[in-house]
Amino acid sequence: MNEIRDPYYVDFSVTPYCNLKCSFCSASACGKYSKTYEISFDEVKDIFNQFDENNIMRVSIEGGEPFLRSDILDILELVNNHMFSCYINTNGTLITEEIAKRISTSGVEKICISIDGPEEVHDRSRGIKGTFKKVKEAVGYLQKYDVPIDAIITLTKINAKYMIETFDVIKNMGINNVAIMLLATVGEASKNHVSIDYSEWKEVLINLTDLKKENKLPVNLQIVHTGESQLPWELYLPLMEAGREEDLSMWIPPNITSSLEESDFGCTAGRDNLAIDGFGNVFGCSLMISSMELSAGNVLKDKLSNIWRNSEIFQMMRSSKLDNIEGKCKDCKLLYKCKGGCRACAYAKSLNYKFSDERCPVCRGERIWS
Ligand SMILES: C[S@@+](CC[C@H](N)C(=O)[O-])C[C@H]1O[C@@H](n2cnc3c(N)ncnc32)[C@H](O)[C@@H]1O
Ligand code: SF4
Ligand code: SF4
Ligand code: SF4
């Protein structure tokens, strides 16, 4: 059994509801709306105190859409009283000038705002017309009050063809740091067919790699793959097939220190991180919140420290080993380097935590190693 360390970071969904309708929503929050918060302000206060008690270093406030809560600014102002650094993930549609001003004096370090494409593409991605205009206004207000902003592009069939235009749009808004989130097939994305095909992804990645190599990307670009590994299949397979393995180092930060052993899954859920959904349920990772069977407990009913140390689900996550992986990964020569993809995606598809992540073409039997 691995040693139990304190959790390092938490994704905290302060509401399960949202005003937009993204067909890929990992939180299955799309179009669900209620004015009743499931977690009260006093409960948020108590949860923040528990974050300090558990030595948590970083908290991402998210949802659903956090700015749907009318008390969100009071919540953000609590952050100054705590030890953790705090980011917010938002769709940006509800940020007015007044809100931007108050964010600038709260303890929040950075806003991560979703921008999936140029106007028409973004609106299609987010399921509601007029969304892009509101995000653009929000960015202007946040910049007026010097709030640091990163842009997040969630990559799907809807926007894959428009990456370069999207970078230009984001750059023209005055944002330099951009992350492309590779789609996790969980929540709505496990039901709707919005993932791009592997062959299309390969084309996008090679194109981005060429541009990055030639210093022609207009923004600082990161590609956020799922799982902690030196050879994540999402990046390694396409580059390897193109005979460009050496370019992997352009996307994987050098010297990432991993707390995982060689035989562990490349999954830090329940080892370094946890997530709390908008009802107080605790999970290993925010990508697990649509799989209730993976809930480790509820922070409105039990102490976070007790859930973290003693829940059977977290113990199962900590003791899971690559040797026990099931499905096609078992015979893959890359297993101990790739570390088997994302556990949330594998579970959402198979209801088996140890199964292969079938987003990978090798797992689907579409690629056979010679
Ligand atoms: C769950 S949302 C919550 C915050 C806010 N509502 C928003 O959309 O920015 C956090 C981030 O996850 C991204 N996301 C949603 N579903 C995803 C999925 N299936 N795979 C990867 N990222 C996803 C969103 O686009 C957003 O950038
Ligand atoms: S991804 Fe964000 S904006 Fe889209 S439906 Fe989910 S919570 Fe709402
Ligand atoms: S479930 Fe595990 S592998 Fe997937 S994103 Fe979360 S921590 Fe990473
Ligand atoms: S089959 Fe499994 S171990 Fe091999 S590359 Fe795909 S996800 Fe990684």
Give me the pLDDT at residue 66, please. 97
89 CB near ligand 1 (under 6 Å): yes
| 8 Å CB contact between 286 and 13 | yes
The ligand whose atoms approach the alpha carbon of 336 most closely is 4
User: What separation in Å is there between the alpha carbon of 293 and the centre of ligand 4?
Assistant: 25
| 8 Å CB contact between 180 and 153 | yes
Ligand 2: which residue has its CA nearest to atom 5? 30
Calculate what percentage of the chain has a pLDDT beyond 70: 95
Give me the pLDDT at residue 219, please. 98
Ligand 2: which residue has its CA nearest to atom 4? 22
The pLDDT confidence band at residue 257, using thresholds 50, 70 and 90, is low
The pLDDT confidence band at residue 159, using thresholds 50, 70 and 90, is very high
Give me the pLDDT at residue 230, please. 86
User: What separation in Å is there between the alpha carbon of 144 and the centre of ligand 3?
Assistant: 35
Give me the pLDDT at residue 256, please. 57
pLDDT in tens, 319-335: 999 999 999 999 999 99
**pLDDT of residue 370 exceeding 70:** no
> What is the chain's length?
370
Q: What is the mean pLDDT of residues 191-217?
A: 96
Give me the pLDDT at residue 254, please. 66
Ligand 3: which residue has its CA nearest to atom 5? 226
225, 343, 362: which to mutate for ligand 4, most atoms within 8 A of CB? 362
* Residues near 164 by beta carbon (within 8 Å), at least 6 away in sequence: 211
Cα separation, 39 vs 55, whole angstroms:
22
User: What separation in Å is there between the alpha carbon of 227 and the centre of ligand 4?
Assistant: 12
362 CB near ligand 4 (under 6 Å): yes
**Closest among 90, 82, 89, 134 to 106, alpha carbons compared:** 82
For residue 309 the two structure tokens come to: 């140390």
342 CB near ligand 4 (under 6 Å): no
